[in-house]
Structure 1
Amino acid sequence: MADKPEQVKRSTIQSLKAWGENPLPPTLLATLITAQHIRPFQPLPMLFPPVLLFTTYLNINGYKADSAGATAAWSGLYMILAGRRRQKFGAKFGARGLVRGATIGLCAVNLVSGGVAYAFGSSTA
């Protein structure tokens, strides 16, 4: 009988670093921000998707730690901007409210994981 390979558990820091170095979260965040603010067009929040897509481009080209830091910074800025908007209690459970909540949650995860990846990563290409 062959021995099974040993499963190694990853620590929380390793999981956060892996999430921060992944190019998918900033792309997903850019998609959610665009879905919320394209119609009616709101110019200030629409500054974020191009920057987040550029961080994805940087990540794919090998600048993982730098990309994670920029993603964390811009996610934090968007959280501040989105936190200023108030919505009624009933509006939180519609389609738009659920997308808004998912966006804020993804911003929070990107902020933490991008900060961890930036702090513990190397910025060499």
Structure 2
Amino acid sequence: MAGQDPKVEDVKRSGISMAMDWGKSPLPPTILATLLTALHARPFQPLPMLFPPVLLFSTYLNLNAYPVDSAGLTAAWSGLYLLLANRRRVKGNSLGQRIGSKFGARGLTRGSAMVLAGVNVVGCGLAYGFGKRENSEKKI
């Protein structure tokens, strides 16, 4: 092909590779902690507000060269939040109230937090399950 550098290759990445990269990134736990704080800080709900500090600690671990351990912590706490959030039922007597609570600002924020938690469980779980720890595998 004319005009292309022969050294540049088109590399197609698999879905598992993309999920593992997602799991090793410090961004997903930070975004989830932000969404959870927005949902549960006002009115203050003590149980769900236990999750943002743990997720931010996971980001701290990731930035300090422990991406595999951070992925495991993020996967576990994202899964716990997903279980907790699935217990909630939509309140309202009429169909309009139920639809309004699902598609309002709070409902969309809750839905995006649950989707992100589910993606974190998959991506971070793969990164933790198949990841390699470079620091602990060195022979002394």
Q: What band does the TM-score fall into relative to the shorter chain? A: over 0.9
- C-alpha distance in 1 between matches for 2:81 and 2:107: 16
Amino acid in the other structure paired with 1:12: G
- Residue pairs, 1:1-125, within 5 angstroms: 2-4=3-5, 5-87=8-90, 88-125=98-135
Tell whether the 8 Å contact from 1:75 to 1:108 is kept in structure 2 after alignment.
Answer: yes
- C-alpha distance in 2 between matches for 1:105 and 1:119: 21
Tell whether the 8 Å contact from 1:63 to 1:124 is kept in structure 2 after alignment.
Answer: no
Point out 4+ residue stretches in structure 1 off by more than 3 angstroms.
Answer: none
- C-alpha distance in 2 between matches for 1:3 and 1:85: 55
Map Cα deviations across residues 6-40 of structure 1 (whole Å, 9 max, x no partner): 11011111000000000000000000000000000
Question: Is 1-10 or 74-83 further displaced after alignment?
Answer: 1-10
Q: Taking structure 1 as the reference length, what is the TM-score of the superposition? A: 0.96
- C-alpha distance in 2 between matches for 1:123 and 1:74: 21
Tell whether the 8 Å contact from 1:72 to 1:115 is kept in structure 2 after alignment.
Answer: yes
- C-alpha distance in 1 between matches for 2:131 and 2:69: 9
> Would you tell me which structure has more helix in proportion to its own residues?
1
Report the count of equivalent residues.
125
Tell whether the 8 Å contact from 1:58 to 1:67 is kept in structure 2 after alignment.
Answer: yes
- C-alpha distance in 2 between matches for 1:40 and 1:74: 22
Amino acid in the other structure paired with 1:19: W
- What RMSD in Å do the two structures reach over aligned CA positions? 1.1
Amino acid in the other structure paired with 1:56: T
Q: Sequence identity of aligned pairs in percent?
A: 62
